[in-house]
């Protein structure tokens, strides 16, 4: 099947999922949308996050994708069921794959979750983890300062190290052996988060497991790409396209073209 996989996020975070999809499924074309004009989603009310997610999905549907990937934990937590109910194509989120990967990783059944305020408030990870393994102990923490740093491209600065150290200091008191990066932006800060938490804590990014789920669904539905041609991916963002491009090219390690999108709906922000 030659149609693309559409991937969306509030900004550059979903590129962590896109990169893994490109690695695991190199024949698949990706259409990526980062809503950088309205990032971060984390502190916004659920109704707004849901409205924005529907709006991006509507935008992406014009390209007739074969699948929608909500590569944003906050939007997955709040809107995935509504989006699934509306569409006939598969809709994949990032929370269940992340939870599965953490259960596979933990040895002592003590798992930490960091995410945006919206994701942590929703308790979506606790529910997903306990659904698989009811005896699991979960400690959750919102880290609202991380996404703005990533959106500014500040992956390795002293300020970022200071903010990560401060934000995670309390979490270090818990005997967790696995930490879910419950926001797709956080793998950009994995080096710093890893050194703050220590080598006894395994960091779990949902990207690998989400790409595996995408692969499994496409295989079982007979929807995998059949062409051997190298796909030309498309990238859209609603904010500054130069900043998006520079972060995306560094992360993906390839040259890309970015098309800016200006939301036409009044009072949308
Ligand atoms: N990357 C998103 C997530 O996984 C959203 C971050 C935000 O915009 O606050 O939750």
pLDDT over 70 percentage in the chain: 98
Name the burial class of residue 174, with classes exposed (0-12), middle (13-18) and buried (19+) by CB atoms within 10 angstroms of its CB. middle
Residue with tokens 């950009």: 188
Which atom from ligand 1 is nearest to the alpha carbon of 144? 9
Q: Domain end: 191, 206, 221, which one?
A: 206
- The predicted-structure confidence for 214-242, as pLDDT tens digits, reads as follows 999 999 999 999 988 899 999 999 999 99
One domain, residues 192 and 101: yes
Ligand 1 contact, 39 CB (< 6 A): yes
Mean pLDDT of 170-179: 97
Looking at the annotation, which residues are catalytic? Answer: 72, 183
pLDDT at 65 over 80: yes
Top-confidence residue, 2 or 61:
61
Please compute the mean of the pLDDT values over residues 167-179 and round it to a whole number: 97
Cα-based angle 254, 12, 203 (whole degrees, multiple of 5): 95
| Both structure tokens of 232 | 């030309």
Same domain, 12 and 43: yes
What's the pLDDT at 161? 98
For the chain, how many structural domains are there in total? 2
Q: What is the CATH number of the domain that holds 63?
A: 3.40.50.1860
96 CA to centre of ligand 1 in angstroms: 16
Does residue 205 register a pLDDT over 60? yes
Q: Are residues 232 and 202 in the same domain?
A: no
Q: What is the mean pLDDT of residues 38-48?
A: 97
Q: Rounded mean pLDDT of the chain?
A: 96
Quick one: pLDDT band at residue 1, thresholds 50, 70, 90?
low
Residue numbers of the domain that contains 141 = 95-206
- Residues in the annotated binding site for substrate: 9-10, 41-42, 73-74, 184-185
Q: Which of 102, 58, 57, 59 is nearest to 76 (CA)?
A: 57
Residue 147 in contact with ligand 1 by CB distance below 6 A: yes
Edge-to-edge strand ranges of the sheet holding 137-142: 137-142, 110-115, 178-181, 202-205
Measure the CA–CA gap between 155 and 47, rounded to whole angstroms: 30
Residue 178: CB within 6 Å of ligand 1? no
The count of other CB atoms within 10 Å of the CB of residue 10 is: 34
Same domain for 246 and 188, yes or no, is no
Based on DSSP, count helices (H) and strands (E) in the chain, helices before strands.
11, 10
The confidence band for 112, taking pLDDT boundaries of 50, 70 and 90, is very high
Ligand 1 centroid, distance to 1 Cα (angstroms): 30
For the segment 138-168, what is each residue's pLDDT rounded down to a tens digit? 999 999 999 999 999 999 999 999 999 999 9
Task: Clarify whether residues 231 and 258 are in a common domain.
Answer: yes
């Amino acid at each position: 099947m030659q149609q693309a996989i559409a991937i969306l996020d509030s900004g550059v975070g979903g590129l962590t999922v896109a990169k893994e999809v490109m690695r695991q499924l190199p024949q698949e074309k990706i259409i990526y949308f980062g809503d950088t004009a309205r990032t971060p989603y984390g502190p916004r009310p659920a109704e707004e996050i849901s409205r924005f997610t529907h709006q991006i999905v509507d935008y992406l549907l014009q390209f007739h994708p074969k699948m929608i990937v909500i590569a944003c934990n906050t939007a997955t937590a709040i809107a995935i069921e509504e989006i699934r109910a509306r569409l006939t194509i598969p809709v994949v989120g990032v929370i269940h794959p992340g939870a599965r990967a953490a259960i596979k990783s933990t040895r002592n059944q003590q798992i930490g979750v960091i995410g945006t305020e919206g994701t942590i408030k929703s308790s979506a990870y606790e529910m997903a983890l306990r659904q698989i393994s009811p005896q699991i102990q979960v400690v959750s923490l919102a880290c609202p300062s991380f996404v703005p740093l990533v959106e500014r491209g500040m992956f390795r600065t002293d300020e970022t190290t200071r903010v990560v150290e401060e934000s995670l200091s309390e979490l270090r008191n818990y005997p967790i052996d696995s930490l879910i990066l419950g926001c797709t932006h956080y793998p950009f800060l994995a080096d710093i988060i890893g050194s703050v938490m220590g080598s006894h804590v395994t960091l779990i990014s949902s990207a690998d497991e989400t790409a595996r789920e995408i692969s499994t669904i496409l295989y079982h539905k007979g929807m995998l790409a059949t062409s051997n041609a190298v796909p030309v991916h498309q990238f859209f963002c609603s904010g500054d396209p130069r900043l998006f491009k520079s972060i995306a090219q560094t992360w993906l390690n390839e040259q890309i073209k970015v098309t800016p999108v200006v939301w036409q709906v009044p009072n949308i922000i």
